[in-house]
Chain A
Amino acid sequence: EAGVAQSPRYKIIEKRQSVAFWCNPISGHATLYWYQQILGQGPKLLIQFQNNGVVDDSQLPKDRFSAERLKGVDSTLKIQPAKLEDSAVYLCASSLDGTTYNEQFFGPGTRLTVL
């Protein structure tokens, strides 16, 4: 079974530029998560989708971050404009549903460096 796919794997941009990340979850998984993992820290949830609706975006810096999950499958996360402190690995994860605990499966992540 294919896992969670993410692209690109690496991205280097200058501050104030824009960047977008893409995620394709495991087929049939209704819940999709975006996490930010800064070096030396655990993943921090940015946004959670249930199908194409947002369940939780309380930790998403909405002045610069946006995310969408059209048609309840693929998702994109955008940063505009990027700041130095956005340098991190952005992990996408999916699970069968988010109403009871189901194991979250993570993609390989996108490593973002902001110069």
Chain B
Amino acid sequence: RKEVEQDPGPFNVPEGATVAFNCTYSNSASQSFFWYRQDCRKEPKLLMSVYSSGNEDGRFTAQLNRASQYISLLIRDSKLSDSATYLCVVTKEYYKLSFGAGTTVTVRA
């Protein structure tokens, strides 16, 4: 079983729509969780950390469910600029990051 699994998508949504997707992780001892964004042929960049109580950053909301070992990301009022691959990231021991394969989101006009 992979350490981090994501639905690859693609999620194809119109501008203004809400899109949400999950990621599951296998190591129950995982400590920290993040969403990174990777634009086509670009490097990954940190989008947001995921806290146990859930957190928002503008139009983005992240949730963590430790009991079921999944993380979610919700994007409200999608913009064309939100088109990207979203990488779910989980820390292993000593803060080593383990990346999922990514979920591709395409926002159409």
Contacts and interface: CB of A to CB of B under 8 A. Distances in A.
Interface in B66-100: 87, 91, 94-100
A7 interface: no
A91 B95 contact: no
**Chain A binding site: helix, strand, loop or mixed by DSSP?**
loop
Nearest to A44: B99
Contacts of B107: none
Given A100-B95, A101-B32, A101-B91, A106 B101 contact: no
Contact of B87 (A42, A98, A99, A101): A42
Contact of A106 (B4, B43, B96): B43
B88 to A, nearest CB: 8
Contact of B94 (A44, A55, A109): A55
B45 interface: yes
B10 to A, nearest CB: 12
B97 to A, nearest CB: 7
Contacts of B42: 108
A91 B87 CA distance: 15
Given A91-B43, A108-B42, A42 B95 contact: no
B14 interface: no
